[in-house]
Amino acid sequence: MIFLAFRNLNIRKKESVYFLVFTTIVLFLSIVCALEKYSQRAGLPIVGTIFTSIGYILSPTLLYLFVLLANMEFRRERWFFWMLGIPLIVNTIVYILPLFMNVEPLNHLVFYYKMNDDGVTASFNRGTFLNFFSHALCLFYLGVVVYVSTVRFNGRHRRDSIVLLICVVFVLATVVAEVVSKRNDLLNIVCEICATINYIFIMTVNSSRDPLTNLYDRRTYLEDVSRYKGIINGLIAIDMNELKFVNDNYGHKTGDQALSSLAKIFVNSIEPSNMCAYRVSGDEFVILMFKGRIEQLDNAMSTIRQKMHECEYSAAIGCCFIDKKAGDISFEEAVRKAEELMYQDKNKHYIDTGHARRER
């Protein structure tokens, strides 16, 4: 899997980097757990305290990385996920306290080691409720994964949510098992298994995306329309302006860069919880809205237009909201209406710029 992650760095860089960091921490934790057990058998309470603290500090870090790996599409809410890292700082402070082994009452607040009656081995002992802070933080991160996965997929692409929820169940059972058994070497193993499953799934789903723009491709668009037509209540039709002119005068590489730039604008302008962007052909894109509000559709439209004013490329846009309660129009009629508005917008572009459309 590590070899596969290195090979995929150019395809899915962020996911591969997170997975490699995740795996590195797991391998390090495995060594830490082994040394912790050795220190107990060898009667080295100081060494055992150090390695146990490291284990408690790094275990929630695995779950935090899993949150990031599981929710890569939340670009505009990125600050929220970085804010989730603040509890890790508190967790680090809590599990540094046992290192003050000669300071009362800090040495018994969280956990402590003491020599057994045989005078050869040492045993691990829990302190106050602070000993469970790491486990509580792990449960908190699991809750974030559950919440975000259910909100993000909002009735479509359930396979993504199901994979995440299965991983959550396994990790949750492991956290409980650690609390009951007083072990701290189970969570990292299960987390690595779950991260591997999720990473393989991401690589599999990657085949349903357009390799140039990383948007969902035409096949996925047709499948989603067929599968989720009942909950689609809005769409935006988009067609890039003057792609032929860019390709003929600046080369197809520049044209590809233009398409990628526009795709990033679309992704960063829509609500990730109930909208998906697709590249349905060369320079044509579609954004579908699932169980959304007309205000969300309007906001996405205005945001795209605003960001395109800051970009050197442009696109024609048309949208249509489907009011299910009013029995408004069918999906097919909404597509025709959106495309009609898009072509009107495209004609306006060529009139305003004075360019000949057939040449561009």
Length of the chain: 360
Q: Does 7 score more than 70 pLDDT?
A: no
pLDDT value of position 330? 86
Confidence of residue 302 (pLDDT cuts 50, 70, 90): very high
* DSSP 3-state of 293: coil
Name the band, by pLDDT with cuts 50, 70 and 90, for residue 155.
Answer: very low
Helices (H), the chain: 2-7, 13-42, 45-70, 78-83, 86-94, 133-153, 158-181, 187-205, 218-228, 243-250, 252-269, 294-309, 331-353
Domains detected in the chain: 2-208 (no CATH), 218-359 (3.30.70.270)
Q: CA distances (Å), 23 to each of 19, 103, 199, 269, in order?
A: 6, 36, 11, 33
Do residues 177 and 1 lie in contact, with contact meaning Cβ atoms separated by under 8 Å?
Answer: no
Task: Identify the pLDDT of residue 229.
Answer: 86
Q: Which amino acid is at 77?
A: E
The reply to whether omega before 105 is within 30° of 0 (cis) is yes
Better pLDDT: 289 or 25: 289
Whether pTM exceeds 0.85: no
pLDDT at res. 357: 61
> In degrees rounded to 5, what are phi and psi of residue 312?
-80, -5
What pLDDT is attached to residue 131?
Answer: 85
Structure tokens at 102: 């000669």
Q: Please, which pLDDT band fits residue 159 given cuts at 50, 70 and 90?
A: low
What is the per-residue pLDDT for 5?
Answer: 60
Local confidence band at 297 (pLDDT 50, 70, 90 cut-offs): very high
| 227 has pLDDT over 80 | yes
Coil vs helix vs strand at 251: coil
Q: CB burial class (10 A; 0-12, 13-18, 19+) of residue 272?
A: buried
Tell me the pLDDT tens digit for each residue of 97-138. Answer: 998 887 888 888 898 888 888 888 988 888 888 888 988 888
**Burial state string for 112-128 with b = 16 or more CB within 10 A and e = fewer than 16:** bbeeeeeeeebebeebe
